[in-house]
Amino acid sequence: MVYPFIFRTVFRRMDPEQAHHLAFRAIALVGRTPVLGGVVQGALAPYLRGPGVEVFGRRVPAPFGVAGGFDKNAEAVRGLTMLGFGFVEIGTVTAHAQPGNERPRLWREIDLGGVRNRMGFNNEGAAAAAERLERLRSTRSGRAVFVGANIGKTKVTPAAEAAGDYATSASLLAPWADYLVVNVSSPNTPGLRDLQSVDALRPILVAVREAADTATEAAGRRRVPLLVKIAPDLADDDVDAVADLALELGLDGVVAVNTTISHDLGEGGLSGRPLLPRGLEVVARLRSRLGARPVIIGVGGITTAADAQAYLDAGADLTQGYTAFIYEGPFWACRINKELVR
């Protein structure tokens, strides 16, 4: 009951990106402070006890995780899991560090329960994220955390060289991630969504698969599953084409969906509650097309446990959220996973 008051009186009056950094630093601090983290995790652990979900041969403690975009540089993985997220997807990470688009680039759409952004993959680069994940994996508790790595194209890399750019990130991150996601669906990097076409996507996925296999074999680690993340704005026929390509290449799954540009609110992609209907449609269509084996991670518009359950009912194996975290507060994920586990 306290958080809505804090949001109205403090966060709502702050610049959205400044508010994000303030909250992010607090979550990262929880993960880095053993006493504080132990108190939080001890309080929430009883709500997350259950059989978990078996995905990629590993147990995920709860089916609702945090989507890519929140922890771009793998700095707050421990803190996020302590707050009740079943798993964390870091990124989007690019092969080379980049500042992203100029500010302002993040806007709240409070009446819609949404957020609009044109961040532009601001991150410290794949090498920095890989170093943090390697450090995380050096401890027993860090190895137990289920972490995905979402990779995108560096803005200055020409589209013709995209495959090599993605492969660079994959080779650095694959040894430390539980799965990789090829992000070709953000609207905030010029030309990126054009890479969702089957002809453009195929060489990227092939290059990433080869780079990841080489890197994990050299490190003596297990093969890392590979997924692709798609936009809600794809036509149904294009969703089918991506699903067919995933089957052709033996991909391990699909993440659906990213932000939408089907709005008249201004610049950037819209996330949050308005995405839920289309997200559910895409997940159901993917499951029908893919069959039972490939993993589907459903994301977009989840605010309540009922929303997450709707994705699971539509055919998703796991679910993710981010936007409602801003509006619902730090124990939002715990509440959702408590209901899903129950």
CA torsion sign for 10, 12, 18, 19 is positive
Please check whether residue 185 is in contact with residue 230, taking contact to mean a CB–CB distance below 8 angstroms.
yes
CA dist 228 and 318 (Å) reads: 14
Structure tokens at 52: 């978990």
Question: How long is the chain?
Answer: 342
Catalytic annotation present for 141:
no
Q: Residues within the annotated binding site?
A: 72, 92, 117-121, 150, 183, 188, 229, 257-259, 272, 301, 322-323
Nearest Cα neighbor of 207 from 188, 186, 234, 228 is 228
3-state secondary structure the chain: CHHHHHHHHCHHHCCHHHHHHHHHHHHHHHHHCHHHHHHHHHHHHHHHCCCCEEECCEEECCCEEECCCCCCCCCCHHHHHHCCCCCEEEEEECCCCECCCCCCCEEEEHHHCEEEECCCCCECCHHHHHHHHHHHHCCHHHHHCCEEEEECCCCCCCHHHHHHHHHHHHHHHHHHCCEEEEECCCCCCCCHHHHHCHHHHHHHHHHHHHHHHHHHHHHCCCCCCEEEEECCCCCHHHHHHHHHHHHHHCCCEEEECCCECCCCCCCCEEEEHHHHHHHHHHHHHHHHHHCCCCEEEEECCCCCHHHHHHHHHHCCCEEEECHHHHHHCCCHHHHHHHHHHC
Q: Residues within the annotated binding site for FMN?
A: 92, 150, 183, 229, 257, 272, 301, 322-323
Q: Which of 185, 186, 262, 288 is labelled catalytic?
A: 186
Catalytic residue ranges: 186
